[in-house]
Structure 1
C-alpha cells in the first residue's frame, strides 16, 4: 500500500498483483521560513534591498498565485520590513498577484494567502500593460502598476519547471505580471523546441535566458524566493534574481533527484493541492514524467494521475485555450502537428501534453469530471487500480511535480 496526495488529503493505493516501486527523494530538512528569510535579507546575494530604495520610491512586489504553494505572507512580512528600513512606507507598496493568464484570485483567496497584506494587493490584468523593452525582438509587456514602479521585487518558488528548468527569479514578474507578447513568444513552439529547454536545467537554457533578460528589461531589482521538498520549505535565498535561482536550484536538485535504472509499465504520478485544482496544472505531472531527463516508461506504458480537478480544465484564459484545443482534436499526433505552426498563449500546455501523448497514454483518476477528462484525449477512471493492468511493473512517484527522475 502506498499513499499519494489527492487535493489536500491522501489516498492509499493497493495493487496486490503488481510489482510496485516508490520514488521518494531525500527532500531536505524543513526550515523556519521567517527566520531564514530574515537571515538571507541581512546577507543577500547582491546589494541589500534597503540600499536600493529612497524614501520617495513607489515599489511593486509581484507574488505567486494559487498555483504555487509559496508562503507569500511570510515573505511579504520580511520584504516590507526591509523596505521600511530603507525609508519606504507600507502605503508606497503595491502587491501584484502574478497570474500570467491564470484566473484572478478571489478576495477570500487573497485574504487566506496574504493575511494582513491583502489590502495592498491587486490581481494582474494582462490587458493593461506597458512595453518596457524588447528581448530577441519580442516586446516585453508588463502590468502597468509594475511597469510604473520605481523598484520591482518578487517572491517565488524555485521548483522544477518544464521549460525554465526551475521556476522563480525574474519569471514571477516577467510572466506572472506580463502581457501576451512575451508569453506567446517564450511559450511558443519555436522556443520550446530549442536545445536546452527542459525540466531541471538552468544553464544554457534558452527559455531561462529569455526570462532573465526580460527581467533586466523590466528591472526586477530584488527577489526573495524559497524552494521546497516533501518535508516542506527547505531553502530561502534573497538578492539578484539569477543568483537566487542558481542557489536554490542547486538546493532543490540535490533534495529532489531520484535515480531510475529500470523501466515500468505504469507510473502513478501524485500531484495534490494546489496543482490538482484543474487539468491544465495537473497535466504537468504527466509531461514531467514523460519529457523529463529520464522517462521511466516502457514502450506502451502509461501515466496515471490521481487528481480532484474541482475547477475542471481551469477557468483562466490560458486554461480555456488549453481545453478548447484538446477537446477539438482528433488525436494527439494531429494536435501536435497542428500546433507546431504556432498557437495562442496558454495553448503551450496542450502542445506539450500532445507531445507526451504521442508516446504514452495518460489516465486521470478520482476526478469529479471524467467526461471532461475524456474530452481532452485522456482516459478516466474512478480509482488508480482501475487504470493499471494486473501484473504490471509500477513506479509510484508520490510528489511528481517535485521529483526529478534522473
Structure 2
C-alpha cells in the first residue's frame, strides 16, 4: 500500500492505494523544500531590482504622481503581503508619497471583502499605511473597446492613476491559458459587462489550459492591458506550500511570458497513460473555498482521465457554490448537456463555470468529498461521498483489482500532459 496525504480545506485526508494499481502521483518536476520568508523577500527584491525588458519602478514613477497597485482577492493564493512592501519602497524612492498610492483588490465578479480580509491580504502594517479599496466598490469608467469588441469599463482609480502596477501569481487557467499578467485588469478591475464579453471568447476555437498563442481570451486580456497602459507587473510562481519559488517583474507581456515558461517547466507533468480513476485535491484552502474555485482542479484532472473514467474530487467548499449565478444555472439544469447547450444560447458569467463542469460530466463520473449538502451536490450531478478510502476500495473491488489510479495532490497547479 502507498499512503498519500491530500489537503482538504485547512486539514488533510490520508488514503491508502495498492501499489499495483497506482500509476502515478503527479507532483512538480522539482522537489520543493520549505522556503523561509527571508529567502522569499530576497527573491522578490531581486526581481524588482532586475526587471525584464523594463526600467525599475523607481525609474518609471515621478514625484507627485498617483500610483495604483492591483492585488488579487481572497480567493487567490497570492502572498500579496510579501509583494507590496518592495513595491512601496520603489514608489517612495521615486518620490511618490503614501497618500498618493492606492491598493486595489481585483474583485472581478467575486464578492466584496471584509476589512479583516483586506488586512490579512496585505498585512496590518501596509493596511494601516496605504488606502485599500475593492475594485467593485469603485466607479467604473468606459475607456473604449478591444479589437475583439470587449467594452472596457474599468475601475476609476486604476484608470486615473499615472503608474499602474499589477501583481499576482502565475498558474494554469482553463480558458485564459495562464493566470497573471494583465489578468489583474481583466477581469480584476473590470465590470460585469466587460468580463462577460471577454469570457464569452472561451466559446471560440483555440482556448485551452496552458495555451497563449492563438488563445482569443488571452489575446483580448493582453490587448486590454495595452489599451489601459500597465506600467509594471510583479508576478510570482508558488510551490505547493504557497511559498514564492520565483518572481518575475517588469514588462507586463515579456515578464509574464517568462513566468509562464518557468511554471510550465515545473508543473506541466507528462503522463504515459490515462487513468481509470483520478483522485484530485485543489491543494486545500483557499483553492477549495468554494465549488466555483475548485472547478479549476477538476478541469485539470480531465486531461488525465480515460473516457468514462471517474474523478474523485476532495474540495471542502466552506462557502458552498461561491457564485449566485453559478448556483442558479446548476439548479435550473436537468442534465449536464442542458448546461452546455444553454451557454451556447445565452452566455452568462457564473453559468460558464457550470458548463465547464458539465462538459466533463458528459464523459466522466465525478464523486466529491465536501462539506456541502448532499442535495446541493446532486444538483450538479456529482455523487457525494463520506469516505474517499471506502469509495476507492469499492471501485477496486468492482474492477477485480485491475483498475489504474492516478493521484493529483495539487490539482490547481498541475497540468497533466499525455504523450
TM-score norm. by structure 1 comes to 0.93
Cα deviations across residues 260-296 of structure 1 (Å, max 9, x unaligned)? 1122111011111101110111122111221xxxx22
State yes or no: 1:171 paired with 2:174: no
Cα deviations across residues 357-387 of structure 1 (Å, max 9, x unaligned)? 1111211114243322222222111121344
SS of residue in 1 equivalent to 2:136: coil
State yes or no: 1:356 paired with 2:360: yes
Cα deviations across residues 98-141 of structure 1 (Å, max 9, x unaligned)? 11111112111111221122242111217831112210222111
Distance in structure 1 (CA, Å) of the matches to 2:31 and 2:207: 26
CA shift, 1:204, in A, is 2.6
Cα deviations across residues 298-340 of structure 1 (Å, max 9, x unaligned)? 22111111111110111xxxx1111110111000011111111
- In structure 2, what is the equivalent of residue 323 of structure 1? 327
State yes or no: 1:394 paired with 2:405: yes
- In structure 1, what is the equivalent of residue 28 of structure 2? 25
What are the within-5 Å matches in structure 2 for residues 4-403 of structure 1? Answer: 4-16=6-18, 19-20=21-22, 21-27=24-30, 29=32, 32-45=39-52, 46-115=54-123, 116-119=125-128, 120-125=131-136, 128-135=139-146, 136-188=148-200, 191-230=201-240, 232-271=243-282, 272-290=284-302, 295-314=303-322, 319-388=323-392, 389-390=395-396, 391=401, 392-403=403-414
Distance in structure 2 (CA, Å) of the matches to 1:354 and 1:186: 21
5+ unaligned residues in a row in structure 2: which ranges? none
Query: Does structure 1 retain, via aligned residues, the 8 Å contact 2:151–2:197?
Result: no
Calculate the aligned-residue CA RMSD, in Å.
Answer: 1.8
Cα deviations across residues 331-357 of structure 1 (Å, max 9, x unaligned)? 001111111123222221112111111
5+ unaligned residues in a row in structure 1: which ranges? none
Query: Does structure 2 retain, via aligned residues, the 8 Å contact 1:366–1:383?
Result: no
SS of residue in 2 equivalent to 1:118: helix
Query: Does structure 2 retain, via aligned residues, the 8 Å contact 1:28–1:234?
Result: no
Query: Does structure 1 retain, via aligned residues, the 8 Å contact 2:333–2:339?
Result: yes
Cα deviations across residues 65-91 of structure 1 (Å, max 9, x unaligned)? 112111111211011000011110111
Corresponding pairs, count: 396
TM-score norm. by structure 2 comes to 0.90
Kindly tell me: are residues 370 and 128 of structure 1, through their superposed partners in 2, closer, same or farther at Cα, counting changes over 3 Å? farther
Distance in structure 1 (CA, Å) of the matches to 2:78 and 2:183: 14
SS of residue in 2 equivalent to 1:276: coil
Kindly tell me: are residues 338 and 387 of structure 1, through their superposed partners in 2, closer, same or farther at Cα, counting changes over 3 Å? farther
CA shift, 1:259, in A, is 1.1
Distance in structure 1 (CA, Å) of the matches to 2:301 and 2:288: 16
CA shift, 1:17, in A, is 9.3
